[in-house]
Amino acid sequence: MSKMKAIPRGIQQVRAEGNSNEIKGLIEGLNKAVADFKAYHQAELKQLRGTIDDHAMALAGQQMNGGGARAVQTLGVAALKQAKDNSSFAAMQTWEQGNCRLNVQMSVKAAALTNQNGQPAGGGPNIPSVPEYGGIRAPVLLAPRLLQILPSREVQKDAVQFIQLNATGDAAEQIHEGDEKAEIELGGALKVANIATIAGHTTASRQVLDDGEDEGLQQKIDNTLTTKTLLRLDDQLINGPGGQGRIHGLLPQATAFAPVIGETPADMIGEMIVTMVNEGYGTNLILMNPMDWFKLQLTRVNETDDEYVFGSPTAPLAASLWSTRIVPVPSLAAGNVLGLDTAHVTVLDRMRASVLLSNSHKDYFTRNLVLILAELRAGLEVADAKAVRKLALPAPGP
Convert the pLDDT of each residue in 342-391 to its tens digit: 999 999 988 767 788 899 888 999 998 999 888 888 999 999 989 999 99
pLDDT at 210 over 90: no
pLDDT, one tens digit per residue, over 236-265 is 999 999 888 899 999 999 999 999 999 999
User: Considering the entire predicted model, what is its pTM?
Assistant: 0.69
Nearest Cα residue to 73 out of 81, 65, 83: 81
pLDDT at 173 over 90: no
* Percent of the chain clearing pLDDT 70 (strictly above): 71
> Which range (1-5, 133-137, 224-228) has the least confidence?
133-137
* Percent of the chain clearing pLDDT 90 (strictly above): 24
Per-residue model confidence (pLDDT) at position 65: 35
Question: For 96-123, what is the mean pLDDT?
Answer: 63
pLDDT at 281 over 80: yes
Per-residue model confidence (pLDDT) at position 161: 87
Residue 101: which pLDDT band, with cuts at 50, 70 and 90? confident
Instruction: Please name the fold of domain 72-168+185-392.
Output: Major capsid protein gp5 fold (3.30.2400)
Per-residue model confidence (pLDDT) at position 136: 44
The overall average pLDDT reported for the chain is: 76
List residues bridging with 153 in a β-sheet: 348
pLDDT at 233 over 80: yes
Per-residue model confidence (pLDDT) at position 69: 37
Per-residue model confidence (pLDDT) at position 272: 96
Residue 44: which pLDDT band, with cuts at 50, 70 and 90? low
Domain positions in the chain are 72-168+185-392
Per-residue model confidence (pLDDT) at position 212: 54
pLDDT at 226 over 80: no
Per-residue model confidence (pLDDT) at position 74: 72
Say if strands 345-358 and 185-194 run parallel, antiparallel, or are unpaired.
unpaired
Residue 293 contacts residue 324 (beta carbons within 8 Å)? no
> Which range (89-93, 215-219, 279-283) has the least confidence?
215-219
Query: Which of 117-121, 328-332, 388-392 holds the top average pLDDT?
Result: 388-392
Per-residue model confidence (pLDDT) at position 18: 61
